C-alpha cells in the first residue's frame, strides 16, 4: 500500500508538470434560474462541457468540437444565447448543475442508474463503450499484427495487480470500480481530476501504463499516438446523453428532446459524428501550433497582440478576438471598402495616427490599436464602468463613434440608460435603421444598419469568453 501511495504521488508530480487545464472559475455567481421561460428572460443558457480534441477546442482562433457545435445548434433552435463554461471534473459539473451555476451538462453522460439519481437525461446523443488504453510493445512496427495480442492485455482478468487510471467521476470510473469489486479488488483504480485525453497522453508518453476511457475519444487519440492500442473492450456500448437538473427543468428537457429529434432527422448529428470521430484531418489539427489546448497559441500574431494590448490596458485575448472578427488573422485581408489587414483599418485612419497600415502586419496592428486608444479616451468619462465601456469601444470601432453617440442620445430621450449597452444603447443602435429613429432630431449621423455593430460586439465578447476557457 505504501508503494502504491508513493507511486500515485509520483504520478501526480509528473502530471503537475503537464499543461492541463482545470475547471473554469467564474467571477460572478450565476443566480439560480429554472426552466426555459426563465432562461429565455435571463437571456442565456449556461452549459458546462469539457475540453479535448473531440468535444470542445480552439484551432486557429476558432472554437470547435462535437458538443460545442451541438450547443450552437441548440442555441439556434431555441433563439437563446448559450454561454459555455468548462470543467474537467464531472462531479464538479454535476455540483454546478444542481446548484444553479450551470443549466446543462453538455458531455457524454452514461445513462445509468447512478447518474439517473443526480440528473435528468435528454434523449441519447451518442453511444460508446469503455476501452483499455495501453501501449504496444517496443518495436511494435516489426511485429505482425496477428502476433501483437501476445504482448497486450485482452481481458479483465489480466489486469490483476495493475494500476488503472480513469477520469474522476467518469463513466470509466464507475465501470472500473464495478468490475474490480466483482473480481474481489484484484487491481487498483486511480481517479485523477482532469480530462481523459490527458490521461491517454500519459500512457503514450510512458508516464503511466494503463487507462480506461470512452471508446470514441480513445480511437481518435490512437490516430495521434500510433503506439497506443485501444482494442480491448471492457464495457459494452451505453447510450450517452446530456443532463439537466431533475427539478424545474421540464420545459428545458422537452426543448432539448425536440431539438434532438430534429438533428437526428436532418442529418446534423451524423455529420458532426463523422467530422469529429472519423476525420483524418483532426490529426493535422492536433499537431498544429495553433491547436490551443496543446500550445496555448491562438494565432501567429500572439506576441505582437500581447505587447500592444498593454498600451490600451486590455486583456490580450479580447484584442485577439477583435482581430479574429475583423480578419480571421489574415494579414492580407482587404475589404470591399478598402479596409486593410489584420485589424481592417482604413488607410486614411492609419494616416491620422502617422501609420501606414498597408505596409506590414505590425503596422496594421499598431494603427488599429492607436484607433482603439483614441476611442477609449473618448468614452473614458462618458462610460464609467469598464466592462460597459468595452462594448461602446467595440461598437464604435465597427460603426463609428457618431452612430454610437446617436444611440446614446436616443436612449436618454426614451428613458433608457445611455451608459448601459444591452437593451439600452444597443437597442437604439438597432433602431437607427428605421426612419422614425434615424430622422429623430437628436440623431446627427443618420441611418445606420445597427445589427452589424450589435452583432460585432456580441460575437467578439462571446469568443473572448471562449478564449478565456482555454488560455489562462
Catalytic residue positions, numbered:
326
Rounded to whole angstroms, the Cα distance separating 28 from 111 reads: 32
User: Residue 158 corresponds to which cell in the numbers above?
Assistant: 489480466
Cα 318–Cα 447–Cα 422 angle in degrees, nearest 5:
40
Say if residues 85 and 48 touch (Cβ distance below 8 Å).
yes
Nearest to 83 by CA among 34, 39, 132, 124: 39
| DSSP 8-state code for residue 12 | H
From the CA atom positions of the chain, what is the Rg in Å?
Answer: 26
User: Residue 207 corresponds to which cell in the numbers above?
Assistant: 508516464
Buried b (16+ CB within 10 A) or exposed e, 427-465: bbbbbbeeeebbebeebebeebebeebbebbbebbebbb
Assign 3-state DSSP to the chain and report helix, strand, coil percentages, each to 5: 50, 15, 35
Contacts of 270 (CB under 8 A, 6+ apart): none
Q: Give the length of the chain.
A: 472
Amino acid at each position: 500500500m505504501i508503494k502504491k501511495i508513493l507511486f500515485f504521488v509520483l504520478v501526480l508530480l509528473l502530471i503537475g508538470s503537464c499543461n492541463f487545464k482545470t475547471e473554469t472559475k467564474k467571477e460572478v455567481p450565476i443566480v439560480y434560474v429554472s426552466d426555459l421561460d426563465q432562461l429565455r428572460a435571463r437571456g442565456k443558457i449556461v452549459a458546462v462541457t469539457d475540453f479535448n480534441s473531440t468535444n470542445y477546442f480552439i484551432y486557429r482562433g476558432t472554437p470547435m468540437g462535437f458538443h460545442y457545435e451541438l450547443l450552437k445548434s441548440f442555441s439556434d433552435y431555441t433563439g437563446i444565447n448559450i454561454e459555455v463554461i468548462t470543467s474537467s471534473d464531472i462531479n464538479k459539473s454535476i455540483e454546478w448543475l444542481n446548484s444553479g451555476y450551470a443549466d446543462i451538462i453538455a458531455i457524454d453522460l452514461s445513462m445509468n442508474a447512478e447518474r439517473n439519481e443526480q440528473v435528468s437525461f435528454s434523449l441519447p446523443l451518442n453511444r460508446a463503450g469503455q476501452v483499455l488504453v495501453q501501449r504496444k510493445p517496443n518495436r511494435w512496427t516489426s511485429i505482425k499484427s496477428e502476433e501483437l495480442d501476445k504482448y497486450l492485455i485482452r481481458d479483465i482478468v489480466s489486469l490483476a495487480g495493475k494500476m488503472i487510471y480513469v477520469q474522476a467521476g467518469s463513466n470509466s470510473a464507475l465501470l472500473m470500480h464495478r468490475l474490480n469489486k466483482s473480481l474481489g479488488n484484484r487491481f487498483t483504480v486511480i481517479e485523477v481530476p482532469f480530462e481523459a485525453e490527458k490521461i491517454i497522453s500519459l500512457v503514450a508518453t510512458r508516464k503511466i501504463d494503463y487507462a480506461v476511457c470512452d471508446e470514441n475519444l480513445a480511437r481518435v487519440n490512437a490516430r495521434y499516438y500510433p503506439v497506443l492500442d485501444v482494442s480491448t473492450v471492457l464495457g459494452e456500448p451505453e447510450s450517452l446523453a446530456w443532463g439537466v437538473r431533475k427539478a424545474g427543468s421540464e420545459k428545458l428537457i422537452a426543448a432539448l428532446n425536440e431539438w434532438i429529434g430534429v438533428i437526428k432527422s436532418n442529418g446534423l448529428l451524423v455529420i458532426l459524428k463523422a467530422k469529429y470521430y472519423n476525420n483524418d484531418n483532426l490529426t493535422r489539427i492536433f499537431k498544429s501550433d495553433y491547436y490551443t489546448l496543446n500550445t496555448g497559441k491562438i494565432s501567429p500574431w500572439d506576441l505582437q497582440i500581447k505587447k500592444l494590448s498593454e498600451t490600451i490596458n486590455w486583456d490580450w485575448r479580447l484584442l485577439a478576438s477583435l482581430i479574429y472578427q475583423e480578419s480571421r488573422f489574415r494579414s492580407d485581408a482587404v475589404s470591399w471598402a478598402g479596409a486593410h489587414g489584420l485589424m481592417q483599418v482604413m488607410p486614411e485612419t492609419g494616416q491620422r495616427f502617422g501609420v501606414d497600415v498597408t505596409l506590414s502586419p505590425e503596422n496594421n496592428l499598431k494603427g488599429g490599436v492607436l484607433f482603439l486608444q483614441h476611442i477609449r479616451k473618448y468614452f473614458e468619462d462618458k462610460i464609467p464602468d469598464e466592462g460597459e465601456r468595452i462594448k461602446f469601444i467595440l461598437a464604435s470601432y465597427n460603426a463609428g463613434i457618431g452612430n454610437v453617440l446617436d444611440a446614446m442620445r436616443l436612449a436618454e430621450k426614451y428613458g433608457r440608460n445611455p451608459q448601459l449597452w444591452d437593451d439600452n444603447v444597443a437597442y437604439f443602435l438597432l433602431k437607427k435603421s428605421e426612419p422614425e429613429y434615424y430622422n429623430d432630431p437628436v440623431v446627427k449621423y443618420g441611418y445606420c444598419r445597427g445589427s452589424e455593430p450589435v452583432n460585432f460586439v456580441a460575437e467578439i465578447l462571446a469568443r473572448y469568453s471562449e478564449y478565456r476557457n482555454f488560455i489562462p
